[in-house]
Amino acid sequence: MTQSKVFTVFGATGQQGGAVVRYILQHLRFSQVYRLRAVTRDASKSAARDLVELGVEVVEADLNNPESVKAAMRSAHTVFAVTNHWDPQVDTSISRAQVEIAQGKTLADAAVANKVELYIWSSLPRIGKPHFDSKAEVEEYVRSLPLTSVYFMAGFYMQNFLVLLKPTRQSDGTYLMTKPYPGASGSTVLPLIDIRDSGKYIAPFLEDPNKYKGERLFAATAGYRLDDICRVWSDVTGTKVVFDEKGDILAANKLSEAQREGLTKSDGRGRAEIGYYGTGGEDGARWTVEQVEGVGERLATWDEFVGANEPWFE
């Protein structure tokens, strides 16, 4: 079978885009249908060169330059579009949300101009947080356009626990996991995704675009209480991990100033109150898992992720 359809992946050297590229490359059928085009801001970096070694076409584009974005989508059949709210090179003279919204609209407009057949926007629900709401605003814009689109809603990355939320050792030998954001408690539920599974979540749409067009794919294996995250860590590693009810990630020196500001800004509602995905998100995540499993894919669970990343504590 000839690879006749160009699949253009933005953010291809990042976690989401990179996972989508590798999923298509490894898929028995999709790898025969699609010719991959990876888009990055800097094609000279090692992650981009690695993609070239895998036989992927790599092109440069700047999301702040509409013409370069349009050129990157030329002849594309399918597009995976993602923006980085925390981009360290963002123009700080305007808000990150404004930059992200402009970039998201640039991507969507380029897709329309190039008559892209399938469009996947990496979105998030509107929950009163700037780094969520900017993506939601772009989603609303995409829905107004003549695009056959679907919305990939990434849950909380399991990879965040490798560094940002890795438990710290206490004097009694136990390990303490801090809150992922202010207001969280042991009963707070996080929808977790091994971000390497990103491509699996869009498989139903690629298999049957008409069935899934306009849908939100809530990309999370399951919702886990923070207390249960610690319990699984303890059970799998044999090292006691407990949840810290007092502090939160803002107290640790692991965030950029932009991330710190983003976690504290809101419209007055606490994320613990409305949930990561907002209203209907838990049902949406369960439905999405059913769709993914329905096309024969299996998603990594938290206990599998913990086991695969041993040793955690030495």
Whether 309 is in a domain gets the answer no
pLDDT for 183 equals 83
Residue 285 belongs to some domain of the structure: no
pLDDT at position 215 is 98
Task: Give the per-residue pLDDT at 269.
Answer: 43
Question: What pLDDT, on a 0 to 100 scale, did the predictor assign at position 104?
Answer: 98
Q: Within a domain: residue 172?
A: no
206 within some domain: no
pLDDT digits (tens, 9 = 90+) for 220-237: 999 999 999 999 999 999
Structure confidence at residue 309 (pLDDT): 97
Range of the domain at 25: 5-147
Indicate whether 138 belongs to any domain: yes
Domain presence at residue 240? no
Cα distance between residue 312 and residue 314, in whole Å: 7
- Residue 238 has a pLDDT of 96
Tokens 């594309």, located at residue: 76
- Residue 194 falls within a domain, yes or no? no
| Positions in the chain whose pLDDT score sits under 50 | 266-271
Return the pLDDT at 267: 41
Is residue 21 in a domain?
yes
> What's the number of domains the chain is made of?
1
For residue 249, the model assigns a pLDDT of 57
| The predicted structure's pLDDT at residue 259 | 52
CATH number of the domain that residue 18 is part of: 3.40.50.720
